[in-house]
Chain A
Amino acid sequence: MTASRTGSKYAFRVYVAGRSSQSLRVVGGIQAILDEVLQGMYALEVIDIQENPQVAEDEGILATPTLCRARPLPATRIIGDLNDRKKVLKILEIR
């Protein structure tokens, strides 16, 4: 699952476990926040750690859901409730 905007200033990865309704809700919530704030000018990659367990270890993922702002650097991450718009924007330093 990837929402891609080539060359976007902002790139994100969200790590979820499986494709449950809960995971879909998380991804939908993130997309809604990013669409609103960045007007769609971002890339979002969804990584299912059940399908790619090694990725989680390689990238030091502690928990799901985790949202990572991969670009611009430095990368930042947030764990847990990703529906809290204010918290997400603050921690990921988006505008």
Chain B
Amino acid sequence: MERKILLLEPDKQLAAEFPLWLRGEGYDVTNVVEPEKVLAALRVASFDCLIIDIDLEPLAEISLKFVRRLKADRRYSGLPITVLTYRGAGRKIASALESGADNFVFKPFECDTFLQRIESIFKELDLRGQGKKLLDLSYIDYLIQVSGDSGKDDLLALFPVVFRLLIAEKIKGIIGDPVCVLIDRRARELISGRHPFIEDVPLNDGHFQDRMCGVAARIDTEEIGKALWDYIHTFLNLVGTLTSDILMNGDGEGDHPQRRKGKVQLR
């Protein structure tokens, strides 16, 4: 079945390149260049996902208003929404996720990785239709890259959050949910209190509000990284859904951001 993607890509050059590539990969792509056209497109056809590039100002804010409208509308609230932005745009991502976007992808992305993410969204849709949920741990790779952006000491910043979500939230079903911790309010809720692997985090630290990964500098990355990975492996093996291959999700040893930087011993 040909999957239908609605793309909001306001950038003229990318509006030409992006659909061309996706169509070449076998998707049915409708591209709109103005946020206002999203609703019009949804009224005349159904789509399997909506991808929004939020980098072009001032359209980003308008786009996010439309995300909020869609998520509040019962007809469209189930439509998976992925936002695209360049690395370092933490505030934009937080706004997008708070507006209701389901996940995000950093530009520039590797084509194969992006296609895996899109397929994962479609797989989740199929499972949702069957009343099931997907545990897609390929996301973890992304989380590592996100945390790696803000400095070498931040490499493991999201691991404790992943850890806490796995435990405290009993696996919601999609590992993408931990991305939501990038939102300051949720992050505060999730990491407040003593964690077995991190020190108390000074949540009144303004530094943390401006960064995606404010807790990492306070942890011993290597030791804790090993411990967390061990734990996550053990825990997820218990639910029978994880393999090391999924976690590593790269095309070679040198490609994994953690191993490349020598911070974590994955196995």
Contact = CB atoms under 8 A, between A and B. Distances in A.
Contact of B108 (A64, A78, A91): A64
Nearest to B89: A57
Given A57-B86, A62-B17, A79-B17, A17 B107 contact: no
Nearest to A16: B110
A42 interface: no
A88 B238 CA distance: 47
B86 to A, nearest CB: 5
B206 to A, nearest CB: 26
B239 interface: no
A79 B108 CA distance: 11
Chain B: number of interface residues, binned into ranges: 20 to 34
B131 interface: no
A12 interface: no
Given A18-B254, A57-B86, A79-B18, A49 B108 contact: yes
A61 B107 contact: yes
Given A20-B251, A20-B252, A80 B25 contact: yes
Contacts, number: 68
Given A60-B14, A81-B24, A66 B255 contact: no
A60 B114 contact: no
Contacts of A79: 17-18, 20-21, 111
A53 B107 contact: no
B108 A17 contact: yes
Interface string B6-22: 00000101100110110
A60 B251 CA distance: 25
A94 interface: no
A61 B24 contact: no
B87 A77 contact: no
A62 B24 contact: no
B231 interface: no
Given A65-B111, A80-B111, A87 B251 contact: no
A62 B254 contact: no
Contacts of B13: 60, 77
A64 B251 CA distance: 14
A15 interface: yes
B86 A63 contact: no
A18 B255 contact: yes
Interface in A37-71: 49, 53, 56-57, 60-66
Of all A-B residue pairs in the complex, the 6 with the closest CB atoms, nearest first, are A79-B21, A61-B108, A80-B21, A56-B108, A57-B86, A80-B111
26 contacts: A17-B108, A17-B110, A18-B254, A18-B255, A20-B254, A22-B251, A56-B107, A57-B107, A60-B13, A61-B107, A62-B107, A62-B108, A63-B107, A63-B108, A63-B110, A64-B111, A66-B108, A77-B17, A78-B17, A78-B21, A79-B17, A79-B111, A80-B21, A80-B24, A80-B25, A81-B111
